[in-house]
Amino acid sequence: YTKNKNLITSGFMSTGNTRDQRDHAGNDNGSEQTVSIKARILALVAAFAVMALGIAGLGVLTIRDYDRMMKNYGLSYDNTYYGEHLNYLVSSAVMESRGIYLSKDTTSARVFAKRLENDLTEIEQTLEDWKVNGGQAKLASFGVIEKQAQEFLTFRRELIRLGTTVSPTEADKLGNNERARARRIAFQADVEKAVLASRKDLANHQAIAREYNAKRAIHFMTVAILGIVLMVAISVWIVVEFISKPLRTIAHAIISVSEGKYDTPIPDAHPHHDPAHVHHQHDEIAAVWRAIEHLRDRAVEADRLAREQRETERLKQMELRQIILD
């Protein structure tokens, strides 16, 4: 009996050691590594981050394009404003010049001359601002307008000199004639053409901005919806395929083993793989399967040992009966 018991114990330890060596060899020699659930979840989080970065990048591009469109819009707006303001100042200067023509003497002409000089000074400032703020680069006709404006300024200042130092009559002879009027009308006509071109350009930029806004809104919605649908689909797939299904299978296996069904197969974390492949896997589900396999083998071994012990006791009782009968 003692000899049999030692053999049984030795067999039990040998079985456990062999199993441990097998698991260890599988872990060391398995060339194929399974991605863990943790790694899959982290990859999913990284995918969400990439989607967020993509949307953020699209937003940055949108802001950059919007700034460029607003810059062009601002140039067109400035050209329109400066052109209209210049035309207004020219008309105001013409009205003050007529005041000089109709003055009785140089003293009364000085009132109109002062206002005319203010208009001329503002015309110079308007031209300078227009040039600095893009008129020269945006309008092909700006050079012609600038030249005409300088001639207009020189001519009107000569009117001021004649009207305030000589007589209003001499100023009237210089400025109140068809030739001077034709030059002034041509000057204002060129300014008006520039204003109309700027208004057309302004309307064009407004249309471009509206179209861009509509398209970019569709782009944002498309990217967001596709990204969300893709992320949700991947999330559901990971949860169902790598968490929910394996856990249900594990629960069924645990119940079966606890009921004594030791022939319950121990599959891989992926049911479509070879069951022996579980020893080459290193994810969390495979680790649970290896633990269940270990417990099942221990239970099978314990059950076998219990049967052998009962058989040994039965034989021992039979020997005792035989001794008693003899």
- In this prediction, what percent of the chain has a pLDDT beyond 70? 83
Over the stretch 149-168, which tens digit does the pLDDT of each residue have? 999 999 999 999 999 999 99
The confidence band for 36, taking pLDDT boundaries of 50, 70 and 90, is confident
For residue 136, what pLDDT is reported?
58
The confidence band for 252, taking pLDDT boundaries of 50, 70 and 90, is confident
| For residue 274, pLDDT beyond 70 | no
For residue 268, what pLDDT is reported?
53
Query: Lowest-pLDDT range, 66-75, 105-114, 264-273, 313-322?
Result: 264-273
| For residue 5, pLDDT beyond 50 | no
Distance in angstroms (rounded) separating the CA atoms of residues 47 and 89: 62
Distance in angstroms (rounded) separating the CA atoms of residues 30 and 277: 9
What are the C-alpha distances in Å from 133 to residues 74, 127, 152, 190, 210?
Answer: 9, 10, 22, 19, 25
Please choose, from the candidates 154, 149, 220, 231, the residue with its C-alpha nearest in 3D space to the C-alpha of residue 191.
Answer: 149
What are the C-alpha distances in Å from 5 to residues 16, 189, 281, 306, 308?
Answer: 17, 121, 37, 11, 9
Q: Count of CB atoms within 10 A of residue 100's CB? A: 27
Distance in angstroms (rounded) separating the CA atoms of residues 50 and 45: 9
Distance in angstroms (rounded) separating the CA atoms of residues 323 and 321: 5
What are the C-alpha distances in Å from 31 to residues 34, 39, 275, 277?
Answer: 10, 18, 16, 11
E strands present in 28-184: none
Q: Which domains does the chain have, with CATH numbers?
A: 2-46+229-319 (no CATH), 52-224 (1.20.120)
| For residue 148, pLDDT beyond 90 | yes
Entry pTM: 0.60
**Tokens describing residue 144:** 């012609």
* The CA-based dihedral angle spanning residues 236, 237, 238, 243, taken in that order and rounded to the nearest 10 degrees: 80
Q: How high is the mean pLDDT of the chain?
A: 82
Backbone angles phi, psi at 265, to 5 degrees: -70, 150
